[in-house]
Structure 1
Amino acid sequence: MNKTLVKLFLRIGLGAGFLSAVADRLGYWPANISAWGNWESFISYTRIINPWLPSSFIEPVGLIVTALEILFGVFLIIGFRTGFIAKLSGYLILIFGLSIALSTGIKGAFDYSVFAASGAAFALSKMKGKFLEIDAILKINP
Structure 2
Amino acid sequence: MEPSTNNPFPQLFLRIALAAALLSAVADRFGCWPASQSAWGNMTTFIQYTGKITSFLPAGLTTTNAYLATFAETVLGILLILGYKTRWVAMATGVLLLLFAISMTLTLGIKSTFDYSVWVGSAGAFLLSTQKHYRYSLDALIA
TM-score higher than 0.5 here?
yes
Q: Flag as ranges the 4+ runs of structure 1 deviating above 3 A.
A: none
Segments of structure 1 that go 5 or more residues without pairing to the other structure are: none
Within 2, Cα distance between the matches of 1:40 and 1:126?
37
Give the CA RMSD over aligned residues. 1.1
Separation of aligned partners in 2, 1:115 and 1:130? 23
Give 2:89's aligned residue. 85
Q: Distance in 2 between matches of 1:110 and 1:98?
A: 12
- Under a length normalisation based on structure 2, what TM-score does the superposition of the two structures give? 0.93
Shift in Å, 1:98: 0.6
Q: How many corresponding residue pairs?
A: 139
Of 41, 66, 72 in structure 1, the residue corresponding to residue 76 of structure 2 is 72
State whether structure 2 residue 116 is matched by structure 1 residue 127. Answer: no
In the alignment, structure 2 segments of 5+ residues that lack a partner are none
Task: Compute the displacement of 1:138 (Å).
Answer: 1.6
Counterpart for residue 41 of structure 1? 45
TM-score (norm 1): 0.94
Q: Identity, % of aligned pairs?
A: 43
Q: Name the aligned partner's letter for residue 57 of structure 1.
A: L
List per-residue Cα deviations over 1:49-87 (Å, max 9, x = no partner): 011122211111111111110100000011000010000
